[in-house]
Amino acid sequence: MNFKLSAVLMLVTIVLGAMSAPARAAALSEAEARFLDQLVTASVVLEQRCDGYEVDGSGGVQLGARLLGSPEAAMAMIDAYAAAIKARDGESYDPAKFRAEVSEAAGKTFRRVRTDLIRRPKGACADYGDASVDHHLLRRY
């Protein structure tokens, strides 16, 4: 009886711990989610080597500053995205810059955009590339 009770308590502890882990991660604000979505989309366009697009670095920081309120907040989101990429790739990263919610949201956007770019390369490259140019994350060359 004592063994069964201990096993049940251990199981409850594990389940409650697993349930509360996502709750501990801070949710992205609407502005953060929007900027991250746009940032990830632009990076996938480059990763898939869509012709005619290159990074517009200052434009990305300016967009983030408009959405998030400051260049520092924009750089923090860019750093969090970079840390998420490094963590996913098994590279060393600054744990102070890593945010689980950024990694999760970026992964979802990355998979969605990349799948569309693979399925319809020309149309999706134009759609996502032009949207990223409009947001000043990319520029045409």
pLDDT (tens, 9 = 90+) of the chain, 141 residues, equals 444 434 343 433 443 344 334 444 579 999 999 999 999 999 999 999 999 999 997 899 999 999 999 999 999 999 999 999 999 999 999 999 999 999 999 999 999 999 999 999 999 999 999 999 999 999 999
Instruction: Report the pLDDT value the prediction gives residue 57, as an integer from 0 to 100.
Output: 77
CA gap 26, 110 in Å, rounded: 20
Rounded to whole angstroms, what are the CA distances from 2 to 16, 31, 35? 21, 51, 53
> What pairs with residue 55 in β-bridges?
138
pLDDT at 58 (0 to 100): 86
Per-residue confidence (pLDDT) for residue 25, from 0 to 100: 56
Helix/strand/coil percentages in the chain, nearest 5: 75, 5, 20
pLDDT of res. 105: 97
pLDDT of residue 26: 77
Residues 57, 50 contacting (CB under 8 angstroms): no
Whether the Cβ atoms of residue 136 and residue 56 lie closer than 8 Å to each other? yes
Q: Taking the CA atoms of the chain, what radius of gyration do you get in angstroms? A: 19
